[in-house]
Amino acid sequence: MPDNITAREGCLQVVATPIGNLSDLSPRARESLALADLILAEDTRRTQQLLQALGVTGKALERCDAHVERAGTERWIGRLGQGAQIVLVSDAGTPGVSDPGSYLVSQALEQGIRVEPIPGPSAVAALISVAGFSEGASFGFQGFFPRGERERREWGTNVLDPKVREVCRVWVAFESPERILAALEFLEGALPEEAQVCAAKELTKIHERVFRGDPAGVRARVADELEREGVRGEWVFAVQVPRSPELDRSGDLSEKQQNWREILPLFAGCGLKDSELAKRISKHFDVERREVYEEILGRAGRTDIS
């Protein structure tokens, strides 16, 4: 290679795609798809439909879902090391957020490969923006709501813990159309009447529906919606748990609740800086701030303790 020519640096671009409305795709995301050497897609058929709608043709697509991501990562890392521009997309929204992609991203970072986010539509941010919660600035993202009864009870116990609610009182979760009513029925039974729920179906799509109110009211309205429109459409819901003296006097905490390390994962993604999270947990669990901070950094694989 001549001295005046520099080898192209490989790059993995993590591109957010529309969650419903095609107009939400950014020009930057379209350009990224159009220039990619390879597009890794959760479902190549759906991504091909997106490309056709955008007028992007001749792109190489490969499947990258939960079943094949690990098997294909070594080969994709090899191509990135040779200078390839690879785009990673999921069916809708952002890869790695309850969708495949995090393993490939982590391996690329370990190899020193540039990973670039191309942000865009988000069901989580969209719901929070229209929920009208007074404490919406700090929230925790659940992923898909627990399916099992025991796991749901544990979730309810943790989010109602007075110490947890001091740190984060808004929780967001995805749910399937088949299970949304059961999830809302659980919330109605587990949450206090003064809690607020916002549940949305088909965000940004033509049949978008948003339901806000107390747990019982939202459950009843969603039940009516399902009866009239059938079990269809993807759902996302958010819960705001109030700071309530009645809840705070609910009795002694269980051993698990008293152990701040056990509940620390609940706060991943709650929107707080590491230092602020450490400060709050230190205060409410009566533990040294530095100890909490070191634990947070250690779980994230960092050591930049100050």
pLDDT of residue 296: 83
3-state helix, strand and coil shares in percent for the chain, rounded to the nearest 5: 45, 15, 40
Taking the whole predicted model, whether its pTM rises above 0.85 is answered as no
DSSP state of 23: G
My answer on whether 180 and 253 are in the same domain is yes
Evaluate whether residue 194 is within a structural domain: yes
pLDDT band at 256 (very low <50, low <70, confident <90, very high): very low
Cβ contact 61:41 at 8 Å: yes
My answer on whether 128 and 255 are in the same domain is yes
112-116, 136-140, 158-162: least confident range: 136-140
The parent domain of residue 219 ranges over: 124-297
**Mapping DSSP to helix (H, G, I), strand (E, B) and coil, where does residue 18 land?**
coil
Evaluate whether residue 6 is within a structural domain: no
Domain count, the chain: 2
Between CA 199 and CA 180 the distance in angstroms is 9
Evaluate whether residue 280 is within a structural domain: yes
My answer on whether 136 and 231 are in the same domain is yes
For 13, residues 6+ apart whose C-beta sits below 8 A from its C-beta are 32, 36, 85, 86, 87, 88, 115, 116, 117, 118
Cβ contact 289:278 at 8 Å: yes
Q: In Å, what is the CA distance from 298 to each residue of 101, 139, 256?
A: 22, 22, 21
**Mapping DSSP to helix (H, G, I), strand (E, B) and coil, where does residue 177 land?**
coil
Evaluate whether residue 263 is within a structural domain: yes
* pLDDT, tens only, 188-242: 998 888 899 999 999 999 999 999 999 999 999 999 999 999 998 899 999 998 8
* pLDDT, tens only, 285-303: 777 777 787 788 877 665 5
| More confident call, 166 vs 192 | 192
Domain stops at, among 99, 121, 143? 121
pLDDT band at 275 (very low <50, low <70, confident <90, very high): confident
My answer on whether 32 and 135 are in the same domain is no
My answer on whether 281 and 137 are in the same domain is yes
My answer on whether 170 and 211 are in the same domain is yes
pLDDT of residue 7: 58
My answer on whether 48 and 131 are in the same domain is no
DSSP per-residue codes, 65-134: STTTHHHHHHHHHHHHHTT-EEEEE-SSB-TTSSSS-HHHHHHHHHTT-EEEEE----HHHHHHHHH--T
**pLDDT at residue 244 above 60?**
no
Domain stops at, among 94, 121, 148? 121
Between CA 177 and CA 230 the distance in angstroms is 9
User: Any idea which residue has 């919406």 for tokens?
Assistant: 136
My answer on whether 113 and 257 are in the same domain is no
Domain stops at, among 121, 146, 180? 121
Between CA 15 and CA 51 the distance in angstroms is 13
pLDDT of residue 306: 41
CATH of the domain at 96: 3.40.1010.10
Cβ contact 163:257 at 8 Å: yes
Taking residues 265-288, report their average pLDDT: 75
- The number of helix segments (H) and strand segments (E) in the chain equals 14, 10
